[in-house]
Amino acid sequence: MLKGLTWQTLKSNYSLVPLFSVVALGLVMAAGHSIRSLVYSSDVKCNRRSQDRPWETQVNDDGSFNHAKYLKLNDYTKMKKSEYEPELKD
């Protein structure tokens, strides 16, 4: 085995403990984010049995787009103006 990878050499070279800790934390966080993206994201589909297309499931029955991202797009032209909003002149 390589030097520094066994418990005996790690105890003698205790300065390697933060390095191994940070690398292990990074690996756990990367794996956790990958699993979270597979489970909760509608962009990724891991079902091989079903033949439906993922981009067809993101459209609602009325034809509007289902916002699956973290960002919700607002149409500001349809919003009511506030009485405190100043008039803008071209």
The contacts of residue 60 (CB under 8 Å, 6+ apart) are 66
- pLDDT over 90 (residue 54): no
Q: For residues 4 and 23, give the distance between their C-alpha atoms in angstroms, rounded to a whole number.
A: 14
Least confident of 13-22, 39-48, 64-73, 79-88: 64-73
The contacts of residue 66 (CB under 8 Å, 6+ apart) are 42, 57, 58, 59, 60
Return the domain boundaries, the chain: 7-56
The amino acid that residue 17 corresponds to is: V
Least confident of 4-8, 9-13, 16-20, 61-65: 61-65
- pLDDT over 90 (residue 32): yes
- pLDDT over 60 (residue 69): no
